Amino acid sequence: MSSFTPRPQEGRIPPFRRRLARTSALALMAGTLPWLPTVAYGQQDAADAKAPVVALPAIDVDKDFVPGGMSVPPVDGHLGRQAIADRRTGTPDTAALLSGLPGMALQGAGGISSLPVIRGLGDDRVLTLVNNVPITASCPNHMNPALSYIAPGDVGAIDVLAGVTPVSRGGDNIGGTIAVTTPDPQFAGEGQGLAVHGDASTAFRSVNNGTTVGGHLSAATDRYVVSYAGSWSRGDDYDRGGDGKSVNSTLFETQSHALSLAARVGEDGVLEVRGGVQVTPYEGFANQRMDMTDNRGTSVDAHYKAGFAWGRLDATAYWQHVRHAMNFLADKGGYDDGGMPMNTRSNADGYTVKADIPLSAADTLRVGNEFHHYALDDWWPPVGGMMAMMMGPNTFHTINGGTRDRLGTYVEWERTWGGGWSSLAGLRNDTVWTGTGTVSGYNASYAKDAAAFNARDRSRTDANVDATAELRYAVGDQATVDLGYARKSRSPNLYERYAWSTGNMASSMITWNGDGNFYVGNPDLKPEVANTVSTSLSWHAATAADGEGATPPPAWEVRLTPYYSYIEDYISQRRLGTVVSNGVSFAKVMFANRDARTYGVDLSGRATVWRDADLGVLGVSGSLGWVRGQTVSDDDGLYHMMPLNGRIGVEHTLGGWHGAVDVQMVDAKTKVDHLLNEPTTPGYTLVNLRGSYSWGNIRVDVAIENLMDKAYALPLGGIDYGDWQAGNHTTPLGSLPGPGRSFNAGLTVAF
């Protein structure tokens, strides 16, 4: 829903929190750089660190000042504790929390696995970090992307950095960075002894009989914190709008648990070690030929942050193991007869180290180094029964001992010049090594492809160089202008390079686009390199200090961001042919580099209509996103470009009450990727209502989503393969319908 909330209940905010937040906001408004973690992030963290464990009181002091990219924010989108608390009743899918942020769209996948798209670039083109750890989807259909491993209720904050991003916020991506963090450990105050906090929450969604149960428990002294976070969610196939018919293969169940130990180290340091497990016993994929029948992720990561005389140090070390299985859930026929098993296993480990070094009052130097090792095996055991002849008698090895290692190093210099000018410049190298072992197929019919693949040199080294330069000018105290350029690179993933079989069955299994097409890897793929220019123009009302010396948020803000990217060697496809299956033509393609361009505009704004002690605060907000993407050689549309879309929200807050009406409008999708037979979709308008009330430690949420029960197709949802399959291919293969009206309710109790 809406990404800003005016909060009037200042009497309920502890004074120290309010001061911290305002200091941070003032620093931002005074023309401090948008990428300035030392001020914006440090103090935001400090404000969050003193907050209660859950965002129960309906107050988010930060959010007034960082309203999803509409103020003068350090990021293009920010979801704080309150925004997440407002949204998590509506979805068990962490990526879906980002819905409605300017420039952001979601590519449809399973119930907890949407793939975020930023300004037309999605999936692997966006770097997704959870507590600084990059997580790779280990599946030929990308069913288990990074955000599927963390539940919405366990998220502390999400920052979105689009397009021109500082090199210190990650390499090996061309679309931007989504940085998810869990709440900071809550140490007890000095002399407070042992402090125990916790909360339990539950949510229900009528559209799929969805249920989420979650809880947190932490015990803290002034030096140590031990905490647990757990979440369980399930949902049946959801009902589509209009006729309420359920959409096949959209069911899921998942649970995650994390245990963390944090300790103060020295005067200013914190060491935190987290261990987590995630188990997804089933998740349907309506736009894929396969479903997830098991996914188990195990991870351990350690973080150390400390301040020294020379600056700040932030270091992370991590390990993650994933076991993933696909087959057919009951909607697609089940696998009592063995079905078609497909397995994936991956290991990742690595570290990141970064240092912020203030050189003078005006200059900050940032340096960092990181290494990411990733190993992947993907194999498909032989199939029994009628299909044994085709898919047997041997195991099919898609990726055998694949590795993708990356060493990244960067240096970044930030300077405040005075007179309203500030700048940031960074240079980064990411060397990426990929390779894989020899492969073999089910039987002799795969021998020719396998022999050719095994005979060739499969090791590749990409030396990628990224650079970012940004300039900001504060025009008085009511406007800022940002101008930025970035060169950013992404090396191909292991499937793009090494999915070796040109056979129809095998290549139909390689696609994360939800399109049913047939993809063949290409070892000669080069990294894609985006050259992006963007400018961001922000205006906001002048602000004046109130009687306490604090400053309320500006009465209105508007932000306009046009952008243009020329992408050399965009990882696209070239057509090998057409495969007609049950009367439907699918594209058979090989991954191939082609130059492409993306361009567009994000517009967002908000205004406080009134702010009154008796009537509360009424605010309006809105956003508009327009993006285009084309190949340069033939002007064909790029895949999964969100059509023109906008939203308008009205929000009201009074005491413990917070209510919102949100209208989302999406234009017809007519610019499509013809090479991949991308379907067009009609335009639609959705109305959502949401309200919450907090009494002390209890919070109740209610919402009606898709109030009018509108029937519509998801523009980035891919094909409705599940229904087509369940209907024995007797109906046309259409676009995936979106969910119909849902009554949602949530309850949270904290102690």
Nearest partner of 367 among 412, 416, 312, 315, judged by Cα: 412
Strand pairing partners for 244? none
How far apart are CB 449 and Cu ion at their closest, in Å? 22
Which residue lies nearer to Cu ion by CB, 122 or 368? 122
Phi, psi of 497, rounded to the nearest 5 degrees = -85, -35
Instruction: Candidates 325-333, 479-487, 528-536, 712-720: pick the segment binding Cu ion (CB under 5 A).
Output: 325-333
Distances (CA, A) of 56 to 64, 85, 211, 253, 564: 17, 8, 20, 26, 41
Region label for 176, one of left (φ > 0), alpha (ψ between -120 and 50) or beta (otherwise): left
694 CB-side CA count, 13 A: 21
Provide the sign of the torsion angle of the four alpha carbons 503, 508, 512, 517, taken in this order: positive
How far apart are CB 324 and Cu ion at their closest, in Å? 5
Instruction: Candidates 44-52, 56-64, 136-144, 353-361: pick the segment binding Cu ion (CB under 5 A).
Output: 136-144
How far apart are CB 151 and Cu ion at their closest, in Å? 20
Of 55, 203, 220, 326, the one binding Cu ion by CB under 5 A: 326
How far apart are CB 140 and Cu ion at their closest, in Å? 6
Which residue lies nearer to Cu ion by CB, 143 or 617? 143
Instruction: Candidates 107-115, 141-149, 459-467, 628-636: pick the segment binding Cu ion (CB under 5 A).
Output: 141-149
Which residue lies nearer to Cu ion by CB, 341 or 740? 341
Which residue lies nearer to Cu ion by CB, 143 or 520? 143
Q: Which residue's Cβ lies closest to Cu ion?
A: 139
* Cα-based angle 584, 495, 511 (whole degrees, multiple of 5): 25
Of 143, 161, 179, 348, the one binding Cu ion by CB under 5 A: 143
Which residue lies nearer to Cu ion by CB, 142 or 640? 142
Contacts of 614 (CB under 8 A, 6+ apart): none
How far apart are CB 205 and Cu ion at their closest, in Å? 25
Tokens 């479903």 correspond to what residue?
291
Which residue lies nearer to Cu ion by CB, 282 or 453? 282
Which residue lies nearer to Cu ion by CB, 289 or 640? 289
How far apart are CB 96 and Cu ion at their closest, in Å? 20
Going through 655-730 in order, the beta strands assigned E by DSSP cover: 657-666, 684-695, 698-705
* By the rule CB under 5 A, 141 interacts with Cu ion: yes
Instruction: Candidates 28-36, 135-143, 410-418, 477-485: pick the segment binding Cu ion (CB under 5 A).
Output: 135-143
Which residue lies nearer to Cu ion by CB, 141 or 218? 141
Q: Which of residues 515-544 bind Cu ion (CB under 5 A)?
A: none
Query: Per-residue DSSP letters for 40-66?
Result: IIHHHHHHHHTS-SS--SS--TTTTTS
Instruction: Candidates 320-328, 644-652, 695-703, 738-746: pick the segment binding Cu ion (CB under 5 A).
Output: 320-328
* By the rule CB under 5 A, 376 interacts with Cu ion: no
* By the rule CB under 5 A, 565 interacts with Cu ion: no
Contacts of 530 (CB under 8 A, 6+ apart): 121, 174, 486, 487, 488, 489, 565, 566, 567, 568
Instruction: Candidates 132-140, 372-380, 621-629, 667-675: pick the segment binding Cu ion (CB under 5 A).
Output: 132-140
Q: Which of residues 229-288 bind Cu ion (CB under 5 A)?
A: none
Distances (CA, A) of 458 to 163, 476, 569, 638: 32, 57, 20, 28
First to last CA, the chain: 28
Instruction: Candidates 30-38, 72-80, 324-332, 419-427: pick the segment binding Cu ion (CB under 5 A).
Output: 324-332
Which residue lies nearer to Cu ion by CB, 332 or 472? 332
> In terms of C-beta density within 10 A (0-12 exposed, 13-18 middle, 19 or more buried), how is residue 267 classed?
exposed
Task: Tell me if 163 sits within 8 A of 176, measured CB to CB.
Answer: yes
How far apart are CB 373 and Cu ion at their closest, in Å? 22
How far apart are CB 441 and Cu ion at their closest, in Å? 19
Question: How far is the C-alpha of 731 from the C-alpha of 719, rounded, in Å?
Answer: 13
* By the rule CB under 5 A, 66 interacts with Cu ion: no
Which residue lies nearer to Cu ion by CB, 98 or 510? 510
How far apart are CB 346 and Cu ion at their closest, in Å? 11
Instruction: Candidates 18-26, 139-147, 213-221, 734-742: pick the segment binding Cu ion (CB under 5 A).
Output: 139-147
Tokens 């018919």 correspond to what residue?
245
How far apart are CB 393 and Cu ion at their closest, in Å? 23
* Helix, strand, coil abundance in the chain, percent, nearest 5: 15, 50, 35
How far apart are CB 238 and Cu ion at their closest, in Å? 20
Query: Rg for the chain (alpha carbons), in Å?
Result: 25
CA 273, distance to chain mean position in Å, is: 23
How far apart are CB 176 and Cu ion at their closest, in Å? 25
Count of residues in contact with Cu ion, rule CB under 5 A: 4
How far apart are CB 144 and Cu ion at their closest, in Å? 7
39 secondary structure, DSSP code: I
Q: Which of residues 377-416 bind Cu ion (CB under 5 A)?
A: none
Instruction: Candidates 29-37, 40-48, 131-139, 399-407: pick the segment binding Cu ion (CB under 5 A).
Output: 131-139
> In terms of C-beta density within 10 A (0-12 exposed, 13-18 middle, 19 or more buried), how is residue 196 classed?
exposed
Contacts of 79 (CB under 8 A, 6+ apart): 3, 68, 87, 97, 98, 101, 155, 157, 158
> In terms of C-beta density within 10 A (0-12 exposed, 13-18 middle, 19 or more buried), how is residue 667 classed?
middle
Instruction: Candidates 137-145, 391-399, 412-420, 691-699: pick the segment binding Cu ion (CB under 5 A).
Output: 137-145
Which residue lies nearer to Cu ion by CB, 56 or 348? 348
Of 106, 139, 474, 713, the one binding Cu ion by CB under 5 A: 139
Length of the chain: 751
How far apart are CB 142 and Cu ion at their closest, in Å? 8
CB atoms within 10 A of CB 718: 25
- Give the footprint of Cu ion on this chain (CB under 5 A): 139, 141, 143, 326
